[in-house]
Amino acid sequence: MMTTQEAAAFLDEHRVRRVRVQGIQHDGLLVGKVLSPQAFLDIATTGIGIADYTFGTDRVGEPAVGFTAPWRSTVIGDVHLVPDLDTLRLDAATEGLAVVLANATDVDGEPLPICGRSLVSRLSADLANRGIFTRFAFEIEGQFFDGSFGENHAANYAELRPFGVPSHLPYLAQDMHRLDPIMSEVCHRLDALGVPWEAWNAEAAAGQFELNLAPDTALNAADHVVVVRQVCKEVAYEQDLSVTFMARITPDYGNGLHIHHSLVGEDGPLVFDDGRPHNLSETATHWLGGLMATLEGTASFMAPTPNSFRRVEGFKAVPTHATWDFDNKSAAVRVLARSRSSARFEQRMGAGDMHPHMGAAALLAGGIAGLDEQLQPPERFTKMAWGLPDGDAYPTALPRSITQAAEALSADKRLRRVLGDDLVDYWIGLRRAEWLSFHTTGGDITAEGPTAWELARYFETL
């Protein structure tokens, strides 16, 4: 763990003139301040104060009315962003600038229940005490458009022009010559920032790309998603393009955020056991049992906005029912157990607008519940799972709206126990506030595609 003295030496060695301290609020957005090097060192252990309404408003700054929390001031008080010095890096594009991620605490230094970084750290520590460690890897999907952010904003996003070949064929290599100058610069900056990536490709919608990140700890992996989004926006801005990670922008395929994760012990991988059915270890079986038992409640973290649910359609590569199977990409949870080194779980419900730390925390919590109760997964679903009819003869339908997902989370005693009442109740309040805003300030749930309200609200903040 980097000390304040080591941080001072780092700033001096690299002639850093300013430090950008960045926390991550409840919608997964970066918030913070730019400090002089000395001011940064002065607050390196105590953090900088920002108004607590940063964690109590929606993404456009409107108060989330109707609920509060013990850490919220009865007036407008402060919360602190405490730098995680292990994330201190030189900015990849700006000379003299360093960046660092931070945890959100109250004024007494206690982690905010709504701080995703602290939540993932707590759950990871719980598992470490059991001798279990996790490795997470995210598959990030986004979409580039012609025209700058300013131009598309000025046009109210009415005539968005995807940057790419209008084809639904994924992995289309003929489009890579257009994406390559953008993605090469993105990957160059990720290398400089220490974000390990493995591959990228054109995806199934015009201008859409997928970027695969290498496995890392749950905290680092979630951090990397936030950094990737920011870097993509910076590169797009510099090239007079725009990019978004909205779940659904056009009638084409939407953007997802799949999460791969595995379990590791002191002696190596824990998912694979060739002495058991389908090579799935007893620990992994209980973990899967927990993931499936909490799947409906997890949907609230996987799909946090009304726009998230616009991509939930049959045969649009999005899970619609509570299913799992081995190497079945139409299932909500895909299990890969062909070899010891690559055995893992893939959660395929995640929308492109997911808060990655909350998504990771939900999976950790479900898995922990499975271990605690030694849960068994339901029968695997071995057929095509997209677009199944609803009814008793089929697996349970997953939530189809932000409110259904919030209700499922509220009723999930397992997630509530592991994540804590403070987080669950506050998160549900935020989702209901988002639903209320959608229905009272311009959204239209009956529209076939994203409304002007959704584009104005999400395009640039995702």
CATH number at residue 319: 3.30.590.10
Report pLDDT for 53: 86
Copy the structure tokens of residue 62.
């409107």
Helix (H) or strand (E) holding 338: none
* Partners of 101 in beta bridges: 22
Are 105 and 226 in the same domain? Answer: no
268 near 298, Cβ under 8 Å? no
**pTM higher than 0.95, yes or no?**
yes
Concatenated DSSP letters of 92-109: SSSTTEEEEEEEEE-TTS
H-helix or E-strand spanning residue 234: helix 218-238
Within-domain flag for 120: no
Look at residue 277 in the predicted model and tell me its pLDDT: 87
Looking at the structure, tell me whether residues 77 and 202 fall in a common domain: no
Look at the chain and report how many structural domains it folds into: 2
Tokens of 258: 């799949």
Q: Going by DSSP bridges, is the β-strand pair 333-336/324-326 parallel, antiparallel, or unpaired?
A: parallel
Query: Is 117 inside a domain boundary?
Result: no
Q: Are residues 162 and 70 part of one domain?
A: no
CA distance 435 to 433: 5
Whether residue 244 sits in one domain with residue 135:
yes
Which of 112, 134, 151 is the endpoint of a domain?
112
Per-residue pLDDT of the chain (462 residues; tens, 9 = 90+): 899 999 999 999 999 999 999 999 999 999 999 999 999 999 999 999 999 989 988 888 888 766 778 888 778 889 999 999 999 999 999 999 999 999 999 999 999 999 999 999 999 999 999 999 999 999 999 999 999 999 999 999 998 998 877 777 777 777 778 889 999 999 999 999 999 999 999 888 888 999 999 999 999 999 999 999 999 999 999 999 999 999 999 877 789 999 999 999 999 999 999 999 889 999 999 999 999 999 999 999 999 999 999 998 887 789 999 999 999 999 999 999 999 999 999 999 999 999 999 999 999 999 999 999 999 999 999 999 988 888 888 999 999 999 999 999 999 999 999 999 999 999 999 999 999 999 999 999 888 889 999 999 999 998
Distance (Å, whole) CA 290 – CA 364: 9
Backbone dihedral angles phi then psi of residue 20, each to the nearest 5 degrees: -95, 110
Burial (CB < 10 A; 0-12, 13-18, 19+), residue 160, is buried
SS3 of 308, please? helix
* Rama region for 251: left / alpha / beta (φ>0; ψ in -120 to 50; rest): alpha
Going by C-alpha positions, the residue among 74, 79, 68, 72 that lies closest to residue 24 is 79
Q: What is the pLDDT of residues 33-44, one digit of tens each?
A: 999 999 999 999
* Same domain flag for 27 and 147: no
| 66: DSSP letter | T
Is 263 inside a domain boundary? yes
Structural domain boundaries, residue 271: 126-458
Q: Are residues 211 and 71 in the same domain?
A: no
Residues 76 and 132 in one domain: no
Domain check: are 270 and 403 in the same one?
yes
Asked if residue 162 and residue 94 are part of one domain, the reply reads no
Mean predicted lDDT score pLDDT of the chain: 94
- Give 50-62 pLDDT, tens digit per residue: 999 899 888 888 8
Question: CATH code at 73?
Answer: 3.10.20.70
Q: Report CA torsion sign: 112, 114, 119, 120.
A: negative
Cα→Cα distances 189→36, 238, 240, Å: 23, 13, 18
Give the span between the Cα atoms of 343 and 271, in whole angstroms.
6
Name residues whose C-beta falls within 8 Å of residue 432's C-beta, 6 or more positions apart in sequence: 66, 403, 406
Q: Which of 64, 87, 112 is the last residue of a domain?
A: 112
Residue 284 sits in the same domain as residue 382: yes
Domain match, 163 and 273 both = yes
Strand partners, 22: 32, 101
Task: For 272-289, give one letter per residue: b (16+ CB within 10 A) or e.
Answer: bbeeeeebbbebbbbbbb
Question: Which of 86, 112, 138 marks a domain boundary?
Answer: 112
Q: Are residues 69 and 144 in the same domain?
A: no
Query: Distances from the Cα of 389 to the Cαs of 251, 292, 339, 364, 396, in angstroms?
Result: 23, 19, 34, 30, 10
